[in-house]
Amino acid sequence: METFGAEFFATTLALVGAVIVMAALLSGFIERSGVPQVAIFLALGAALGPWGLGLMDVTLDSPILQVVATLSLVLVLFTDAVSLDIKEVREHGRLALLVLGPGTMVSAALMALAGWKILGLSLAAAAMLGAALASTDPVLLRGLMRRRDLSGAVRQALRMESGMNDAVLLPVVIVAMALLSRGASAEPGHWVRLGLELFLLGPGAGVIVGLVAVGALDLVRRRIGVRRDYESIYSLGVAFAAYAAAEAVHGSGFLAAFTAGLTISALDLELCDCFLEYGETTAEMALLFTFVLFGSSLIWSGFGLVSGATILFALVVLAVRPLALAVSLWPTRLDRRSRWLIAWFGPRGLSSLLLILLPVFAGLPGSEPLFQICCLVVLISIVLHGGSLMLLGRAEVHAPAAAVLAAAAASSGAAAAPVAAAAEVEALAAPGASEAERITVDELRRLQAAGEPVVVLDARTERAYESSDLLAAGAIRLDPDQAVRRATALGLPKQAWLVAFCL
């Protein structure tokens, strides 16, 4: 028994190491080629699984699957919430309602109807499958969201949908599970208790943990100070603490993780940025590790249910969301290409698999075929949506160095406008800098008018940069996490004034 445990532990560590190493080495290739990152790690799982090297064989009753899947769903929900821009959601409330209404709930209902009619599932089982398959996958969408040629409206719509639809669909899965296990004849008290657990105890625990965490961090920041990279680890700890707190009071730990992230997003933007700068990559590694586990053998089980009915169901599922959103977005002012991108790119992936695993882990009868059907749809979605992303072509993330430097040189002239007319942006030095190291917009203009060599650096965080349409004229985009490497690559003049601004 000890020998088996040691071998299992060593294999798991080797697998984690392989995921991290491959993710790092292939990151540049994936970004340039557009190859779906998920497909590579599913292939890695297949290579390590029983049909490959035989180093691992994960089944639905494997303890490691339940642990990793639970942690992954917590991370998915927390990351979705903490990456939401509350101000953006408020400003584009109508668009959020459209993508969460027709884009999520109507699509889930139509998919459930297809499962009931085409596959002959019970209403409860069809509702679980429809809700799982209506979830859009944030990991698969990440490649699209990083493109600089993506319009702000498309980015906002997809970000809001992927950030909120899991929290909308999770209660549907849980209620359908209760219907399947107890039936509609369950006592009214059971449904009242379930409602309290879902909509009060779970979210309440998440809000409380989030409030305490933000308050404690703010106190320590002011008294002692906290490193930014450790704040990202802190946010992950908040997610797991919220899950544990909710489960301790018999609430939904998953909804607690989401509401904890939402609380942080509403109250502490700096902590959100720290998570997106440092912690999001850690969470992504955990999600890719889950894909490797699925790829070893589980996800391929979907091919075992291939039939005319399942193929028809998969095609209906993949067509429902684009049709629903194409109709619902018609009254908006979005151009045709934007509406098409929002409607088409709703890939099914890890979120769908994790949601449909909940009834499997609960041991509900007939849940294993639901998982296999979901696997089949996810595989088809990876091919179709991943292939579509590759067909869009490679987007320019940064302008060529020569063009950027030319623009920067032009901006140093007296007649050049250093910032957009509507902007009132002050150039800021690094955190903790004294007032003498700061420069106002008027002072920047005086330097340029005097003919001084000035290079304006856009050093906003990735979150602020992507969510804003405000650009400084002639500014060079300088990622604050890769400032030295980027500055060296651009050959920034060492004798010039380097003026960095952030918002």
Strand partners, 477: 458
- 223-229: long-range contacts at Cβ-Cβ below 8 A with a sequence spacing of 24 or more? 228/274, 228/277, 228/278, 229/274, 229/278
Per-residue pLDDT at 481: 56
- The per-residue pLDDT for 225 is 83
Q: Whole-angstrom Cα distance, residue 163 to residue 140?
A: 13
How far, rounded to the nearest angstrom, does the alpha carbon of residue 284 sit from its chain's CA centroid? Answer: 9
Q: Which residues are 500's β-sheet partners? A: 457
If the chain, 503 residues long, is cut into consecutive pieces of 10 residues, what is the mean pLDDT of each piece?
56 75 77 76 87 83 87 89 81 82 89 95 94 86 71 78 86 91 69 85 94 91 83 88 94 92 85 73 81 89 91 94 86 81 83 92 91 94 82 49 40 37 35 53 76 76 61 69 65 73 65
Count CA atoms within 13 Å of residue 458 on its CB side.
21
Q: Report yes or no: 389 and 323 within 8 Å, Cβ to Cβ.
A: no
Q: Measure the CA–CA gap between 108 and 183, rounded to whole angstroms.
A: 21
Q: What is the pTM of this model?
A: 0.75
Distances (CA, A) of 394 to 26, 144, 146, 147: 16, 10, 11, 8
Sign of CA dihedral 177, 246, 235, 295: negative
The residues, any chain, with a CB within 8 Å of residue 475's CB and separated by 6 or more, are 408, 411, 418, 456, 457, 458, 501
Question: Can you tell me the distance from the alpha carbon of 306 to that of 287, in angstroms, rounded to the nearest whole number?
Answer: 27
The alpha carbon dihedral of 137, 142, 147, 148 has a sign of positive
For 329-368, give the DSSP string. TTTSS--HHHHHHHHH-----HHHHHHHHHHHHTT-TTHH
Task: Please report which helix (H) or strand (E) contains residue 238, including its range.
Answer: helix 228-248
2-391 CATH fold: Na+/H+ antiporter like fold (1.20.1530)
Contact 235, 264 (CB under 8 A): yes
With CA atoms as reference, report the closest residue to 68 among 279, 276, 298.
298
**Cβ(95)–Cβ(332) under 8 Å?**
yes
Give me the torsion for CA of 369, 371, 372, 375, rounded to 10°.
160
> Which residue, chain included where needed, has tokens 């209660």?
171
Asked if residue 300 lies in contact with residue 353, where contact means CB atoms within 8 angstroms, the answer is no
Pairwise CA distance, residues 125 & 354, whole Å: 16
- Phi and psi at residue 150, in whole multiples of 5°? -80, 130
Residues of the chain with CATH 1.20.1530.20: 2-391
pLDDT of residue 419: 38
- Residue 418 contacts residue 472 (beta carbons within 8 Å): yes
Tell me, what's the pLDDT at 263? 92
The identity of residue 363, as a single letter, is G
Cα dist from 293 to 48, 65, 168, whole Å: 9, 7, 26
**Per-residue model confidence (pLDDT) at position 195:** 86
String of DSSP letters for 388-434 = HHHHT-PPPSS--HHHHHHHHHHHTSTT--SS-TT----B--STT--
Helix (H) or strand (E) holding 458: strand 454-458
Say which amino acid occupies 52: G
Q: Distance of alpha carbon 118 from its chain centroid, rounded?
A: 32
Report, in angstroms and rounded to the nearest whole number, the Rg of the chain calculated over CA atoms: 24
- CA-based nearest residue to 114, from 406, 351, 324: 324
